[in-house]
Amino acid sequence: MSAVLGCWITRLWKSCNMSRLLMVGLAWTIGGFVLHASGQLPAQGAEVAGNEAPRANSLRVDPKSPAEMAATIDTLIENELAAAGIVPTGLAKDQDFLRRVSLDLAGELPSPGELALFALDPSPKKREAAIDRLLATNKYTLNFSRYWRDVIFMPATEQRAQGVTNVFVDWMANELAANESWDKIATKLITATGHTGEDGSTALMFAHGGAADEVAAEVCRIFCGIQIQCANCHDHPTDIWKRDQFHELAAYFPRVQSRRATGDGNVRAFEIVSMNKGRPARAAFRDNPERLIARVDKNKDGKISKQEVEQSKVGGALGRVFELGLSVADANKDGMLDAEELKAIPEPDPKGRGSLEYYMPDLNDPSSKGKLVEPRFFVDGSRPVSGMEDVPRREELARKLATPANPWFAKAFVNRMWSELLGEGFVMPIDDLGPTRTAVYPVLFDELSQRFAASGYDIRWLLKSIALSKAYQRAVLQGDATPAALPFAAAKATRLRSDQIFNALIDVLGYEEPVVAQATRGGQGGPFRNNPRQQFRLLFGFDPSTPRDDLIGNVPQALFLMNSAVLKDALRGSGESRLHQILKKFPSNEPAVTELYLLTLSREPTAAEQAIAIEYVSNAKDRAEGFEDLLWSLLNSTEFLSRR
Closest CA to 246 of 236, 231, 256, 234: 231
Query: Residue 43 pLDDT > 70, yes or no?
Result: no
Query: Residue 16 pLDDT > 80, yes or no?
Result: no
Query: Residue 2 pLDDT > 80, yes or no?
Result: no
pLDDT of residue 347: 54
> By mean pLDDT, which of 250-254, 439-443, 525-529, 531-535 is the weakest?
525-529
Highest mean pLDDT among 105-109, 520-524, 626-630: 105-109
Percent of the chain with pLDDT over 90: 51
> Who wins on pLDDT, 345 or 219?
219
pLDDT of residue 288: 62
Backbone angles phi, psi at 354, to 5 degrees: 85, 5
Percent of the chain with pLDDT over 70: 80
Confidence of residue 32 (pLDDT cuts 50, 70, 90): very low
Confidence of residue 30 (pLDDT cuts 50, 70, 90): very low
> Who wins on pLDDT, 7 or 87?
87
Q: What is the mean pLDDT of residues 562-569?
A: 78
> Who wins on pLDDT, 580 or 418?
418
- Segment (H or E) for 2: helix 2-15
DSSP string, 184-229: HHHHHHHH--EETTT-GGGHHHHHTTT-HHHHHHHHHHHHH---GG
Confidence of residue 80 (pLDDT cuts 50, 70, 90): very high
> Who wins on pLDDT, 187 or 4?
187
* Summary mean pLDDT of the chain: 82
Q: What is the mean pLDDT of residues 295-303?
A: 81
Q: What is the mean pLDDT of residues 247-271?
A: 77
pLDDT of residue 571: 72
**Cβ atoms 449, 407 nearer than 8 A:** yes
Query: Residue 581 pLDDT > 80, yes or no?
Result: yes
Confidence of residue 532 (pLDDT cuts 50, 70, 90): confident
Total count of residues recorded for the chain? 644
pLDDT of residue 77: 98
Residues 47-57 have pLDDT tens digits of 333 333 343 34
- Segment (H or E) for 358: strand 358-360
DSSP string, 42-103: PP-SPPPPTTPPPPP---------HHHHHHHHHHHHHHHHHHTT-PPP-BPPHHHHHHHHII
- Segment (H or E) for 643: strand 642-643
3-state secondary structure of 258: strand
Degrees to nearest 5, angle at CA 115 with 111 and 119: 170
Closest CA to 75 of 366, 355, 633, 447: 447
3-state secondary structure of 259: strand
pLDDT of residue 369: 81
Residues 474-496 have pLDDT tens digits of 999 876 667 788 999 999 999 99
Q: What is the mean pLDDT of residues 504-525?
A: 67
Confidence of residue 312 (pLDDT cuts 50, 70, 90): low
Q: Tell me which CATH code domain 276-343 carries.
A: 1.10.238
Q: Within the chain, which residue ranges are assigned CATH 1.10.238?
A: 276-343
> Who wins on pLDDT, 540 or 296?
540
Query: Residue 371 pLDDT > 70, yes or no?
Result: yes
3-state secondary structure of 587: coil
Query: Residue 143 pLDDT > 90, yes or no?
Result: yes
